[in-house]
Amino acid sequence: MIFKRLILGVFLITGMLFNAADGSAAEKKAKVGFVYVGPIGDHGWSYQHNAGRLAIARTFSDKVKTTYVESVPYGADATRVITKLARSGHDLIFTTSFGYMNPTLKIAKRFPKVKFEHATGYKRSKNLATYSGRFYEGRHVVGLIAGKMTKSNILGYVASFPIPEVIRGINSTIIAARSVNPKIKIKVVWVSTWFDPGKEADAAKALIAQGADVILQHTDSPAPLQQAQKNKVWAVGQASDMVNFGPKAQLTAIIDDWNAYYINRTKAMLDGTWSSQDTWGGFKSGMVKMAPYNKAIPSDVVAMAEKAKDGIIAGTVHPFTGPIKDQSGKIVIPAGKMADDGMLLGMNFYVEGVDGTIPK
Amino acid sequence: MSELFVPVLLTIITASTPLVFAAAGEVVVEKSGVLNLGVEGMMIVGAVIAFAVGVKTESAALAIISGAAGGMLTAFIFGFLTLRLLANQVATGLALTIFGLGLSALIGHGFVGKTFSGLPKIGVPFLEQIPVLGPLLFVHDILVYLSVIAVFLITYVFNKTRLGLIIRAVGENHHAAHSIGYSIVWVRMGCILFGGSMAGLGGAYLSLAYTPLWVEGMTAGRGWIALALVVFASWRAWRAFFGAYLFGGITIIQLHAQGFGVDIASQFLSMLPYLATIVVLVLISNNSSRMMLNAPADLGKSFHASD
Amino acid sequence: MRLELRGQVSERMVYCSPVFAVIMTFLTGMLIFSFLGVNPTQAIITFFVEPVSSIDGVAELCVKATPLVLIAIGLSFCFRANIWNIGAEGQLTIGALAGGGLGLLFFNSSSQFLMPGMLIFGILGGMVWAGIPAFLKIKFGTNEILTSLMLTYIALLILSYLIHGPWKDPEGQNFPESRLFPEAGLLPIILDETRLHLGWIITLICVPVAWILMTYHLIGFQIRVMGMAPMASNFAGFRGKNIIWISFLISGGLAGLAGTIEVSGPIGQIIPVISPGYGFTAIIVAFLGRLHPIGCLLSGLLMALTYLGGDNAQIELNLPNAVTGVFQGMLLFFLLASDVLVRYRIQIIGYKNKHRNVE
């Protein structure tokens, strides 16, 4: 009992000291908070968002204080952490994974003065904006390159979960690849995880053994790229430039670059011009970037890839331009038409050329 | 056929080796009557230390040794708490996993994004020339050979040596073993440290050979599977070895089946290894007398001389 | 240094040893924090005081502790009987699916029976999942550590299948989340402006009920006898089989209840990750609580506090999540180690003394 009282006393005294110190040193810095689903050391999704946070910290070093909480599970914990950020005086909070959608919406209602931004979701409110990247644009460029580089005409795709985001990427890749080489097939292996280097590597190996000579991935670790390097086939990096994991194998990488967006939104918050909106940025806004192309890619292929990229930026090229057939041969996007964002966001069918069916 | 056959089997060997290390080590630990559920924690500490040393020194040998040492040091915490201070083994093991995952992330902070050249493949002279079998069985990195050797040694020690007898005696009935004059604490500590170094090697294999990189949480639950394999193997190292290969095999084959376009929900495919384990376990344990002979009677119980 | 068995459990140490452990953690924690360049006192305050320095903080503590305490109480029954159910995570998941599934089935219901129905389905779901290892153990003698662990993986994959397939929200743009439960399927909030829900009251009711069951009821007596001397239970005339069934069903039922409370309380829908490992953490909670319902309540709260403190340390001090893990692990090590003081007396003895003892 005496112990307990002693500890309590110590706490009270030190607590008072600190509160006093806090009060005197109060300087007005805006606070921007981030919630990550993975560890910042995942070298993938959360790593790139954290790079964006660091970019804010560099740009507004005297005006903004950034904080983050990593590895926050979906569900009850997410709500707690986001609420905590809102309560502790954050002005702008980025919740960077799909599973945070409903918690963020709920909390945004409770804290109308705090501004929220949720990545990859579709629910918005007055103080809740959404944002995501048009990574399928990058996959279009990758598909063109892969279509030219493959000798076996088989592309291997290490996929995580059958959600529209992933299916859209697979379709975008195969449509582009078949536009330069109609014989191409794509084999998809679902690993049911975003992050398990071992399993991702095994999936890549399985695909390579089945004849795939370009490995694409929609999972987070550099392991598939490493396997490609080891087995002397091509691969494409995911989320960040992974070239030092497979300098020979990496054709290019689709980079999630949140820096510009985060800096813009922080600036808007500081200026008082922030408003809720939906941003789906691609090449044009710089949210999606291509890593430097591998030297081994012939210059005409690079030129073609760059042309497609410029076309996408200019609006003359759309990765989902009809006629596009689904696996059964039925036309889903008629000739001359392009898929609208609604169709892209809810995409849950494979187009022609994908081997196998979407897991139900 | 062998064009596909050999790479599939090679993949299975890589997928199984970390499990073999961790499971075979845990067999020894549990045979001595200790249940250490912290395999995942020891593995990941082994993985990060091996990788860090590998990157810093560029020496595969040093990296492997430090991986084993890392696992061993983590295991020492467990040993000290459960043997010296008689803490509950199940809870301490779980705490060790939490601790190990955190510690590895702290150590590995500066190593995300670094690369390591991987372990060199060593061919066994002459044997590697045999068609099909040569590249399949006799061209591997040192750790794959080591995993097989370790399983042989453990089996040998338990079946043929006095040391094996002592460990089993300690695990079966620590009071009896104590009254004959064996030091329960030291025998068990030895086994725990051995198990830790094996788990560390399993982790090292992940970060040095399987996927030569460091990312947080890269063991992704393999320590838990190793624990399951031990029971599955009814506490025999060679059965744990086959169990690991069976498990690795099913995992890899379901990935291949998908590549061939087999139409089945991936979740059900992923379930197969676990279902198979339960089924096989039920089949084995049906022969209950044999099961009883292998399960260490004093598994998980703390020992104190005056109890 | 030597340990000597106490004649009986030291009453004083039962209460003192946790305090001792917490002090030790503070001291080593402070060392680590100053090593990491953080003001150690501030770090400790951030970890342990600030999270609960407001009503909301206390409410959050209870929300986080609810599943841990419920599961730990159930596991205490198993562990006391020497039955190693380590699959509570799976039982929680199936419970959440059973209870939550009912909520999804009647997604536009406003019946007041929906909520109780969900809770009952949750309990039943957990019981079914816990019944499998119980059945296999009784029928085939299959080791329950392994089966319950394997069933956890299977349960998580079933969740993954349902949420990526049939239970996906039809208006959810194909994202792996279910519909939101109707208002009638949500646990009511019992403290305005917080997330504190009825589940906490249910937990508080479970504590004394479990205590009575364990201490005064015949079942509790049988479980304890079975744990201490399995042979004796046969002599005493009751069958081990029944005890296996009962303890598995109690722990599975409570884990299933915890799962339903999670989805219908703080979450409000079924999502791909219902529990961040409560079923495993609760094993530690059960042991820290000395397999006693009240102990489980206290240790569950302490455990929950370390999570809240971890969030806080990241937000306030920019400490990485990894530090939380190390710190949590350390606290557990000390708590587990200090248990020794309850049952044993530490004697510092000189060489001579020791020598005489050996002879």
Range with the poorest average pLDDT among B58-62, C86-90, C239-243: C239-243
Contact at 8 Å (CB) between C163 and C275? no
Contact flag C336-B232 (C-beta cutoff 8 Å): no
pLDDT value, residue B76: 97
Pick A77's closest partner by Cβ from C42, C49, C276: C276
Is pLDDT at A1 greater than 70 in this prediction? no
- Evaluate whether residue C191 is within a structural domain: yes
Contact flag A80-C60 (C-beta cutoff 8 Å): yes
Pick B102's closest partner by Cβ from C151, C281, C324: C324
Q: Give the residue, B290 or A204, on which the prediction is more confident.
A: A204
**What are A307's two structure tokens?**
């042309």
Q: Which of residues 79-98 of A touch C (CB under 8 A)?
A: 79-81, 83-85, 87-88, 98
The arithmetic mean of pLDDT across residues C63-82, rounded, is: 94
d(CA C80, nearest CA chain A) in Å: 29
Q: How many CB atoms lie within 10 A of CB C224?
A: 18
DSSP single-letter state for residue C356: H
pLDDT tens-digit series, residues A96-132: 998 899 999 999 999 999 999 999 888 999 999 999 9
Helix and strand tally (H, E) in chain B?
13, 2
Range of the structural domain that residue C145 is part of: 64-289
Contact flag B252-A206 (C-beta cutoff 8 Å): yes
> C142 to each of A195, B63, B79, B227, C230, how far by Cα in Å?
33, 40, 28, 15, 17
Burial class, A183, CB count within 10 angstroms (exposed 0-12 / middle 13-18 / buried 19+): exposed
Residue B35: helix, strand or coil by DSSP?
A: coil
> C184 to each of B303, C131, C270, how far by Cα in Å?
53, 30, 16
**What are A324's two structure tokens?**
């596009």
Give the span between the Cα atoms of C161 and A192, in whole angstroms: 10
Pick B274's closest partner by Cβ from C145, C153, C288: C153
- Best of B98, B232, B234, B254 to disrupt the C interface (most C CBs within 10 Å) is B98
**What are B301's two structure tokens?**
């119980």
B vs C, Cβ pairs < 8 A, gives: 149
Chains contacting C with at least 3 CB pairs below 8 Å?
Answer: A, B
Contact flag C64-A80 (C-beta cutoff 8 Å): yes
What's domain A136-256+289-345's architecture? 3-Layer(aba) Sandwich (3.40)
Is pLDDT at B145 greater than 90 in this prediction? yes
The arithmetic mean of pLDDT across residues A311-340, rounded, is: 91
The arithmetic mean of pLDDT across residues A197-224, rounded, is: 92
Q: How many CB atoms lie within 10 A of CB C56?
A: 19
The number of CA neighbours under 13 Å toward the Cβ of A347 is 22
Determine contact: A15 vs chain B, CB below 8 A: no
Residue owning tokens 């409000």: C268
A160 φ/ψ angles, rounded to the nearest 5 degrees: -95, -80
Give the span between the Cα atoms of A261 and A266, in whole angstroms: 8
Which residue in chain A has the smallest CA separation from C160? A192
pLDDT value, residue C351: 46
Q: Give the residue, C351 or C125, on which the prediction is more confident.
A: C125
Contact flag A122-C173 (C-beta cutoff 8 Å): yes
Contact at 8 Å (CB) between C269 and C180? yes
d(CA B3, nearest CA chain C) in Å: 33
Helix and strand tally (H, E) in chain A?
11, 14
d(CA A16, nearest CA chain B) in Å: 31
d(CA A218, nearest CA chain B) in Å: 15
Residue C330: helix, strand or coil by DSSP?
A: helix
**Contacts with A77 from chain C: Cβ below 8 Å:** 64, 276, 307
- Asked if the domains at A26-133 and A136-256+289-345 fall in one CATH topology, the answer is yes
**Which contiguous run of DSSP H or E holds residue C305?**
helix C293-317
CA angle (A153, A159, A163) in 5-degree steps = 120
Residues constituting chain C? 359
Contact flag B103-C149 (C-beta cutoff 8 Å): no
- Evaluate whether residue C317 is within a structural domain: no
d(CA A41, nearest CA chain B) in Å: 6
Q: Domain ranges in chain A?
A: 26-133, 136-256+289-345
**Which contiguous run of DSSP H or E holds residue A324?**
strand A324-325
The arithmetic mean of pLDDT across residues C314-332, rounded, is: 84
- Evaluate whether residue C48 is within a structural domain: no
Which homologous superfamily is A26-133 in? Response regulator (3.40.50.2300)
Residues 6+ apart with CB under 8 A from B13: B140, B144, B245, B248
pLDDT value, residue B192: 97
Pick B94's closest partner by Cβ from C145, C146, C284: C284
pLDDT value, residue B264: 61
pLDDT value, residue C232: 61
Give the span between the Cα atoms of B188 and B183, in whole angstroms: 9
**What are B243's two structure tokens?**
């169990």
Give the span between the Cα atoms of A194 and C36, in whole angstroms: 31
What is the predicted ipTM? 0.84
DSSP single-letter state for residue C189: B
Q: In the beta sheet, which residues pair with residue A336?
A: none
Determine contact: A357 vs chain C, CB below 8 A: no
Residue owning tokens 């004059």: B181
Contact at 8 Å (CB) between C321 and A50? no
- Evaluate whether residue C11 is within a structural domain: no
Which residue in chain C has the smallest CA separation from B83? C337
- Best of B101, B213, B247 to disrupt the A interface (most A CBs within 10 Å) is B213
Residue owning tokens 């040596």: B161
pLDDT tens-digit series, residues A213-269: 999 999 988 999 999 999 999 999 998 899 989 999 999 999 999 999 999 999 999
pLDDT tens-digit series, residues A161-174: 888 889 999 999 99
B121 φ/ψ angles, rounded to the nearest 5 degrees: -80, 135
Is pLDDT at B2 greater than 90 in this prediction? no
Q: Which of residues 111-170 of A touch B (CB under 8 A)?
A: 156
pLDDT tens-digit series, residues C23-40: 888 888 888 888 878 888
Determine contact: A177 vs chain B, CB below 8 A: no
Q: Give the residue, C110 or A59, on which the prediction is more confident.
A: A59
The arithmetic mean of pLDDT across residues A11-27, rounded, is: 44
Q: How many CB atoms lie within 10 A of CB B160?
A: 10
Which residue in chain A has the smallest CA separation from B117? A245
d(CA B53, nearest CA chain C) in Å: 20
**Contacts with A203 from chain B: Cβ below 8 Å:** 255
Contact flag C340-B86 (C-beta cutoff 8 Å): yes
Is pLDDT at A12 greater than 70 in this prediction? no
- Its sign, for the CA torsion C300, C302, C306, C312, is positive
B256 φ/ψ angles, rounded to the nearest 5 degrees: -65, -40
**What are A56's two structure tokens?**
């804010």
Contact flag B220-A221 (C-beta cutoff 8 Å): no
Of the pLDDT bands very low, low, confident and very high (cuts 50, 70, 90), residue A27 is low
The average confidence (pLDDT) of chain B is 87
Which residue in chain B has the smallest CA separation from A245? B115
pLDDT value, residue B278: 82
d(CA B194, nearest CA chain C) in Å: 21
Contact flag C320-A40 (C-beta cutoff 8 Å): yes
How many folded domains does chain C comprise? Answer: 1
Residues 6+ apart with CB under 8 A from A239: A43, A44, A45, A47, A48, A220, A253, A254, A255, A256
Contact flag A75-C273 (C-beta cutoff 8 Å): yes
pLDDT tens-digit series, residues B246-260: 888 888 888 888 888
Which residue in chain C has the smallest CA separation from B284? C142
Is pLDDT at A13 greater than 50 in this prediction? no
pLDDT value, residue A86: 94
pLDDT value, residue C348: 60
Residues 6+ apart with CB under 8 A from C168: C174, C175, C176, C177, C178
A259 φ/ψ angles, rounded to the nearest 5 degrees: -55, -55
- Evaluate whether residue C215 is within a structural domain: yes
Is pLDDT at B104 greater than 80 in this prediction? yes
Is pLDDT at A2 greater than 70 in this prediction? no
**Contacts with C5 from chain B: Cβ below 8 Å:** 304, 306-307
Chains contacting B with at least 3 CB pairs below 8 Å?
Answer: A, C
Contact flag A73-C273 (C-beta cutoff 8 Å): yes
pLDDT tens-digit series, residues C170-190: 887 778 889 999 999 999 999
Contact flag A41-B112 (C-beta cutoff 8 Å): yes
The arithmetic mean of pLDDT across residues B184-207, rounded, is: 96
Give the span between the Cα atoms of A195 and B162, in whole angstroms: 45
Pick C276's closest partner by Cβ from A73, A85, A122: A73
Give the span between the Cα atoms of C281 and A58, in whole angstroms: 39
pLDDT tens-digit series, residues C95-118: 999 999 999 999 888 888 999 999
DSSP single-letter state for residue C55: H
**What are A28's two structure tokens?**
């007005």
Contact at 8 Å (CB) between B151 and B24? yes
Range with the poorest average pLDDT among A283-292, B36-45, B113-122, B195-204: B113-122
- Evaluate whether residue C32 is within a structural domain: no
Give the span between the Cα atoms of A173 and A351, in whole angstroms: 10
- Evaluate whether residue C343 is within a structural domain: no
Question: Can you give the three-state secondary structure of A211-260, one letter per residue?
Answer: CCCEEEECCCCCHHHHHHHHCCCEEEEEECCCHHHCCCCEEEEEEECCHH
Highest-scoring range by mean pLDDT, B23-32, B135-144, C7-16:
B23-32
> A311 to each of A289, B136, C186, C201, how far by Cα in Å?
14, 49, 50, 61
d(CA A227, nearest CA chain B) in Å: 8
Is pLDDT at B263 greater than 70 in this prediction? no
Residue C52: helix, strand or coil by DSSP?
A: helix
Residues 6+ apart with CB under 8 A from B292: none
pLDDT value, residue A40: 85
DSSP single-letter state for residue A51: H
**What are B165's two structure tokens?**
């007898």
Contact at 8 Å (CB) between C81 and C221? no
Give the span between the Cα atoms of B286 and B281, in whole angstroms: 8
Q: Which of residues 198-257 of A touch B (CB under 8 A)?
A: 198-203, 205-210, 212, 221-223, 226, 230, 244-245
The average confidence (pLDDT) of chain A is 89
Contact flag C56-A87 (C-beta cutoff 8 Å): yes
d(CA A314, nearest CA chain C) in Å: 28
The number of CA neighbours under 13 Å toward the Cβ of A336 is 0
Is pLDDT at C358 greater than 60 in this prediction? no
d(CA B159, nearest CA chain A) in Å: 34
Chains contacting A with at least 3 CB pairs below 8 Å?
Answer: B, C
Q: Which domains does chain B have, with CATH numbers?
A: 2-294 (1.10.3470)
Contact flag B213-A207 (C-beta cutoff 8 Å): no
Please confirm whether the linkage preceding A323 is cis (ω < 30° from 0): yes
Q: How many CB atoms lie within 10 A of CB C299?
A: 26
d(CA C236, nearest CA chain B) in Å: 23
Strands A278-281 vs A128-133: parallel, antiparallel or unpaired? parallel
Closest CA to C189 of C264, C97, C255, C99: C264
**What are A18's two structure tokens?**
């600190």
Percent of chain A with pLDDT over 90: 70
Contact flag C333-B282 (C-beta cutoff 8 Å): no
d(CA A12, nearest CA chain C) in Å: 10
Contact flag C336-B81 (C-beta cutoff 8 Å): yes
Pick B91's closest partner by Cβ from C158, C287, C325: C287
CA A8 and chain centroid, separation: 46
